[in-house]
Amino acid sequence: MPIEILMPALSPTMEEGTLAKWLVKEGDTVSSGDLLAEIETDKATMEFEAVDEGTIGKILVADGSEGVKVNTPIAVLLEDGESADDIGSTTRAPATEPGPQPQAPAAPAAAAAPPATAAPKSASGSRIFASPLARRIGADKGLDLTQITGSGPHGRIVKADVENATPGTTATIPGPQAAAPAPTGPSTGAIAAMYEGRDYREIALDGMRKIIAARLTEAKQTVPHFYLRREIKLDALLKFRSQLNKQLEARGVKLSVNDFIIKACALALQSVPAANAVWAGDKVLQFRHSDVAVAVAIEGGLFTPVLQDAEMKSLSALSTEMKDLATRARDRKLAPHEYQGGSFAISNLGMMGIDNFDAVINPPHGAILAVGAGKQRPIVGEDGELAVATMMSCTLSVDHRVIDGALGAELLQAIVDNLENPMVMLA
């Protein structure tokens, strides 16, 4: 039976993509793990691998096709002994630029993604729908394929389904994450009518901007934000940073204030472990390590690459890793695991001259720290006399479902203590 190769969801937020380039052609033989195509998602251009083995019988979506919906057939794979004549007329037509669709009583999810159930072996001995590679692995491991749930097209059992399965168990594949709700409001036509006769230019939304709009709308509508604000004295940190940079100059390392902020937040999450958590619908997930996301502005949007185990890394290691992630984020070369996850985020607009601002939490994170510019201001010293100090304003946006007021204040105090006493972060 010919196998439909479907447009994959290469990120949790992906609903459609651009098939940038085919890396195979009709008639080519492919194996599991071979590269099939380059696909542009809302975040990056990624390579798509084969999960089955066979021969490319027909390519349904051409190079450069935009707006290809997830789960749309993009090619047909033939097994041993099959030919193009076996493809038949049952292959679903690809949809790249869908127009308005009439409402139908049938559930759209059922049409977009067939149930992932394996066809059981009948008493008459009809075959189970499984790839040849999955059959071989299953035979080697002594698996009963009728007990395994297939995640391939039309419930087909593929390599991933049998690799981690053991005799007597059923392999299950988690369902796709629900897409963020689309922002609501007046229609484009209604808004345009308000500006009839005025000169303007329409700018179509790309995938990234659509996702940003949907997720931030979801965040402000569903996450109960509250805000905690502090002023942080930076003079000791700036002096310490200058000393370290002189010593690290020979190694080509130059620490930024942002590197210290990342380290301070990572250590604070260890000091206040109850705040190192995310909202998971009906429970809270509390983490052992500090995975800190940092907002990086790129053309047309932003990424939040995640620095995993940040509390265990040196300042120089964090600096090097952050520079690499930021560079690849701007080139849209990050892999999904590099910008997904984390429990806490940092958004720093201080280098752009912003004194203070309130950041929107990126679900499911429990909090985000908005960092303003460090500026010299008059302060009242410990002896009661006026003095000048470099002060930085920070605002901690907190998800009240995860972190209560006192706990949020404790977390922010720990961040302040680390930044005002930077040598403690090296202890």
pTM metric for this prediction: 0.64
Q: Burial level of 136, CB count in 10 A (0-12/13-18/19+)? A: middle
| CA–CA gap between residue 161 and residue 145 (Å, rounded) | 10
Give the residue carrying structure tokens 């599991």: 32
Asked if residue 96 has pLDDT above 50, the reply is no
Residue 9: closest CA among 65, 72, 52, 59: 72
| CA–CA gap between residue 367 and residue 351 (Å, rounded) | 21
185 three-state secondary structure: coil
276 three-state secondary structure: coil
More confident residue, 13 or 296: 296
Mean pLDDT of the chain: 82
Of the listed ranges 7-16, 291-300, 408-417, the least confidently predicted one is: 7-16
| pLDDT given at position 100 | 41
Decide the pairing of beta strands 54-59 and 225-233: unpaired
Report the catalytic residues.
400
For residues 230-250, average pLDDT: 95
More confident residue, 152 or 359: 359
| pLDDT given at position 53 | 86
| pLDDT given at position 230 | 97
E-strand ranges in 13-168 read: 16-22, 29-30, 35-40, 45-49, 54-59, 65-69, 73-78
pLDDT band at 152 (very low <50, low <70, confident <90, very high): low
For residues 196-222, average pLDDT: 85
The CATH T-level fold of domain 3-113 is: OB fold (Dihydrolipoamide Acetyltransferase, E2P) (2.40.50)
Asked if residue 119 has pLDDT above 60, the reply is no
| CA–CA gap between residue 336 and residue 144 (Å, rounded) | 33
Both structure tokens of 171: 């392999």
- At the fourth CATH level, the homologous superfamily of domain 210-426 is Chloramphenicol acetyltransferase-like domain (3.30.559.10)
Per domain, the residue ranges of the chain are 3-113, 114-125+138-177, 210-426
| CA–CA gap between residue 156 and residue 358 (Å, rounded) | 48
CA distances from 266 to 84, 242, 293, 344, 414 (A): 56, 22, 10, 9, 10
| CA–CA gap between residue 248 and residue 426 (Å, rounded) | 15
| pLDDT given at position 260 | 97
Asked if residue 306 has pLDDT above 50, the reply is yes
What are 394-412's pLDDT values in tens digits? 999 999 999 999 999 999 9
Of the listed ranges 66-70, 98-102, 192-196, 366-370, the least confidently predicted one is: 98-102
| CA–CA gap between residue 128 and residue 91 (Å, rounded) | 20
Give the residue carrying structure tokens 């960092």: 371
